[in-house]
Structure 1
Amino acid sequence: MSHFTSMKTRFQNLVYLERALNRLNIPNKRQKEMIQNSISKSYNVNLIIPQSNNYDVEFCWNGQEYELVVDMSFWEQPNTIENFIDKIAQQYAGEVIISESQKIGFQPIKYKHNVDGSNTLILERWNTQKVTAETF
């Protein structure tokens, strides 16, 4: 008997979510889903994580965030679902920090995964303003 579970997340950016999965070496692919109402049609892009048993794990866009949709009876990932989400959330946060910092001139110079499971991220930004010397 199948038991589909839908878990809310705070993942709102598809690109950051894809990068987090890629950083964790979790294979994934995009899937377009057509949404049609009486006036128009649009597309959502979901992320699929294939499993060998063909009961794939999905991150589905609900209009506000990507929900994790999975049949718990067929979970094949190496971690529990809670650890799975935690690991993705940690990488997702790193991707947000890197990308948003780059928008204001910072560049990542070091990204290290520590033995305790934490990550260390070092960013730098050089002052590009012209400095003039004044004599007093």
Structure 2
Amino acid sequence: MSHFTHMKTRFQNLFYLEKALNRLNINHEEKASSKVESSNMNLIIPQSNGYDIEFAWNGQEYELVVDMSYWEQPYPIESFIDKVAQQYAGEVIIGESQKTGFQPIKYQQNADGSNTLVLERWNNEKIIQSV
């Protein structure tokens, strides 16, 4: 008998969530939400045992839906969520800062598990000299 666990997250943007999963090399696919009133897509992470992991839109955020008895990922679920959250945060920072003219010039994953992100923005305004 399956017992699905619904874990709340702070993932609210499908685009950034997909980019985070891509950065972690986690295969996933989009699936239309089964909720009639929702036009949002859910993300499915297939597992070889057939008990897939799902990021399902609950109206406010993408919650992680998983049957803990059939977890097949290479690290515990808490580490999985932490890794996805870390990459998601980096993708949000890059994406939102690009909207204001910043460009990422360095994205580095450090040996201690942290990330270093360097952004830059050039001021293209003309310099007017007064005499």
Structure 2 portions without partners, runs of 5+: none
Give the CA deviation at 1:10. 0.3
2:90 to 70, 94, 114: 94
| Residue aligned with 1:129, SS | coil
Q: RMSD in angstroms over aligned alpha carbons?
A: 1.1
Distance (Å, rounded) in 2 between the aligned partners of 1:80 and 1:95: 23
Distance 2:95 2:47 in 1: 30
Aligned equivalent of 1:54: 50
* 2:24 alignment counterpart: 24
Query: What is the CA distance between 1:3 and its match in structure 2?
Result: 2.0
Q: What residue identity is the alignment partner of 2:28?
A: N
Identity %: 72
Structure 1's unaligned 5+ residue stretches are none
Contact persistence 1:34–1:44 (CA under 8 A): no
Per the alignment, residue 120 of structure 2 pairs with 124
Judged with a 3 Å threshold, the aligned counterparts in structure 2 of structure 1 residues 97 and 22 are, in CA distance, closer, same or farther, namely same
* Structure exhibiting the larger radius of gyration computed from Cα positions: 1
Q: Deviations over 1:73-121 (max 9, x none)?
A: 0000011000000000000000000000000000001100000000000
**Whole-Å separation in 2 of the counterparts to 1:5 and 1:126:** 47
More strand by share: 1
What TM-score, normalized by structure 2, do the two folds share?
0.96
Runs of 4+ in 1 over 6 A off after TM superposition: none
Aligned 8 A contact 1:111 1:121 in 2: yes
How far apart, CA to CA, are the structure 1 residues paired with 2:14 and 2:4?
A: 22
Aligned to 1:81: 77
Residue identity opposite 1:101 in structure 2: S
In structure 2, C-alpha distance between the alignment counterparts of 1:99 and 1:59, rounded to whole Å:
21
Q: State the shift of 1:132 in Å.
A: 1.3
Tell me, yes or no, if the aligned pair for 2:27 and 2:45 is still in contact at 8 Å. Answer: yes
Give the distance between the partners of 2:35 and 2:85, measured in 1 at CA. Answer: 27
